[in-house]
Amino acid sequence: MPIILVINGPNLNLLGKREPHIYGSETLADVEEKVSRVASEMGDCELIFFQSNHEGQIVDKIHEAFGAYDGIIINPGAFTHYSYAIRDAISGVSVPTIEVHLSNIHTREEFRHHSVIAPVAVGQVVGFGTMGYELALRGLLTMIKGVKG
């Protein structure tokens, strides 16, 4: 059974409160519940959820994925744009990773247009709100199941 690590970075614990006109009114708990429903719908899959506002904790969690998880879904928040530590951790564990963003980072402020994570991710889902997590999970599980036979 595939085990997927879902990582949320800084400020995502404030979903539903922080700038709802950009990020929506759903909470992180709502997102986790929706993604869990999709996982059940798609068959055998275990989800591990993790959120941190601290770069080092996210790096440590990614390191734990080596040999333990079949895939990672990550919304690195602001770390998207400058965290080479998170990028290198993803690259180092060689676990298929999909980057997710609630808003379309490519249509927002200039500094948000570039992701240092994208080059080491197997895919990127942006601009679909919380549905982006569902799309990422569907894509990741389809890829994993295809690779595993």
Binding-site residue positions for substrate: 75, 81, 88, 102-103, 112
- How far apart CA 36 and CA 114 sit, in angstroms, is 30
Binding residue positions: 75, 81, 88, 102-103, 112
| Catalytic one of 21, 23, 82, 113 | 23
How many helices (H) and strands (E) would you count in the chain? 5, 5
| Catalytic one of 21, 69, 101, 113 | 101
Tokens 């950009």 — which residue?
22
113 assigned to active site:
no
23 assigned to active site:
yes
Tokens 């996210």 — which residue?
58
Active site positions, annotated? 23, 101
